[in-house]
Amino acid sequence: MNVLVTGGAGYIGSHTCVELIEAGHTPIVIDNLCNSSAKSLDRVREITGTAVKFYEGDVCDETALEKILSENAIDCVIHFAGLKAVGESCSIPLRYYENNLGSTMTLCRVMAKHGVKKIVFSSSATVYSGDNEMPLRETSKTGNCTNPYGWTKYMCEQILRDIAKADPEWSVVLLRYFNPVGAHKSGKIGEHPNGIPNNLMPFISQTAIGKREKLSVFGDDYDTHDGTGVRDYIHVVDLAKGHVAAISHAAKNKGEAVFNLGTGTGYSVLDMVKAFETANDIKVPYVIAPRRPGDLATCYADPTKSREVLHWEAKHDQTDMCRDTWHWQSNNPNGYDE
Ligand code: NAD
Ligand code: UDP
C-alpha cells in the first residue's frame, strides 16, 4: 500500500517507515520538522536501501496536504504528527490543541475529499483514567486526563470515532501506545529529545553517556515491588510493527477499532536502571527524588486484543530495549546533529 505517514521523520514515524518498507509498503512522509530532522529519513534509506518520498510541510496546511494527495495514490494514512511534551502542553495549551486537533481535522477533511478513508492514529495510554484497575483493557475507563496533551489525544480519538460513525466507508484504527523505548538495532535511528529529557529511558542513556550528572528517581514510596513507578515499556520496533498490522486491519475492516500496544509486563524505574547497567556494562548514577506530580504508581496494558485481532505481539525484551537504546545513544551522542 502507499501509506502517507504524517510526522514520519520523528522517533516512532522513522522506525515505522523502516517496517513499512520491509513489509513491502511505500511510505510517503509529511513532516514540518518541528521536533525532528530530515536526516532520520536518510538513515531509513541507509537501513532499507529505499529512499522515502518526503514533503516538508505542516499537516494543518490544507494546501500542502492537497498537493500530496493529488500527486500520490494514497491508500492509507498513519497520523503520527503531533506535539507530545506533557509539561509544555500545560504551559502552552492552545498551541497543543491547535496543532494536534487542527492537524487531525484538516487531514481528515482532505482525505475525505480524495476518497482516502483509512487512518491509523497515534493515541496513548494517557487517555485512560487514573482510577482504573490494572492491566488496562481497551474497554477501561477513559478521560480525567491530567494534562492538555492527554486531552488532545482523547479529543482526537472522539473526532475520529465520530467520523467513522457518520460515514461507514471510513476505517479508523486508534492505537494506544504504552511507553515506547529503544531504537533500531542498526543504531542509525532513535530518539533524541530536545533539551532535558522528560522520559525515563532518554534520561538514563544521557546520564550513562555523561550528559546528565545523575538520574532523579521520582519517588520510592509507591505501592510497587520496590517503591518506584511501574510502566509497560515497549520496544519501538515492536511498536512500528504494530502499525504494519494496523494498516492491514484497516484495509480489511471498516468502522472504528482501538488497540493497546504494550507488552503486558510492567517494570519499575529501578528495574530499568539495573537492566540498562547489566545490558551495557555501564553505571547509571541516580538519586531518589520526590514524586513527580500527576504520576501513577503503576500502568501497564492488557495486550490480548492486539494479539487476537491484529495478530501482533511485542517480541523484544527488556535487554533488547536497553541494549538498542545505548547503541543509538553511544553512536549518536548528539542525535542527528554532526
Ligand atoms: P516525535 O516528536 O519524534 O514525532 C512527531 C513528529 O511530528 C515530529 O517529527 C514533528 O516534527 C512532527 N510534527 C508535529 N506537528 C506537526 C505538524 N503540524 N505538521 C507536520 N509535522 C508535525 O514524537 P514520537 O515519539 O515519534 O511520537 C509520534 C506520535 O506518537 C505523536 O503523536 C505522539 O503524541 C504519539 N505518542 C508518543 C509516545 C511516546 O512516548 N513517544 C507515546 C504515546 C503516543
Ligand atoms: N521517571 C523518573 N525519572 C525521570 C523520568 C521518569 O523516575 O527522570 C519515572 C516516572 O516517574 C515514571 C517512569 O519513570 O514512573 C516513566 O516515566 P516517563 O516520563 O518515561 O513515562 P510516563 O510517566 O509518561 O509513563
pLDDT, averaged across the chain = 97
Number of H helices, E strands in the chain: 12, 14
Q: To 10 degrees, what angle do helices 318-331 and 200-208 make?
A: 50
Ligand 1 atom 13: residue of nearest CA: 81
DSSP string, 56-97: E--TT-HHHHHHHHHHS---EEEE------HHHHHHSHHHHI
Give 120's pLDDT tier (boundaries 50, 70, 90).
Answer: very high
What is the bridge-based pairing of β-strands 267-268 and 230-231? Answer: antiparallel
Q: What is the pLDDT of residue 338?
A: 73
Closest ligand to C-alpha of residue 230 is 2
What is the bridge-based pairing of β-strands 2-6 and 26-31? Answer: parallel
Instruction: Give the residues surrounding ligand 2 with Cβ less than 6 Å away.
Output: 179, 198-200, 203, 215-218, 229, 231, 269, 292, 295
The answer to whether the pTM exceeds 0.85 is: yes
127-136 confidence digits (pLDDT tens): 999 999 999 9
Ligand 1 atom 10: residue of nearest CA: 35
Q: What angle do CA 123, 236, 334 make, to 5 degrees?
A: 110
Largest separation between any pair of C-alpha atoms in the chain: 56
Site of grid cell 490543541: 97
Euclidean distance between the first and the last CA atom of the chain, given in angstroms as a whole number: 34
Choose, from 11, 149, 267, 336, the residue flagged as catalytic: 149
Q: Is 149 a catalytic residue?
A: yes
State if residue 36 touches ligand 1 by the CB under 6 angstroms criterion.
Answer: yes
DSSP 3-state of 310: helix
Q: What is the pLDDT of residue 7?
A: 98
Residue 195 Cα to ligand 2 midpoint, Å, equals 16
What's the DSSP call for residue 158?
A: H
Mean of pLDDT values over 192-202: 92
Contact 7, 13 (CB under 8 A): yes
State if residue 40 touches ligand 1 by the CB under 6 angstroms criterion.
Answer: no
Closest ligand to C-alpha of residue 59 is 1
Mean of pLDDT values over 191-219: 95
State if residue 150 touches ligand 1 by the CB under 6 angstroms criterion.
Answer: no
Distance between CA 80 and CA 220 in Å, rounded?
34
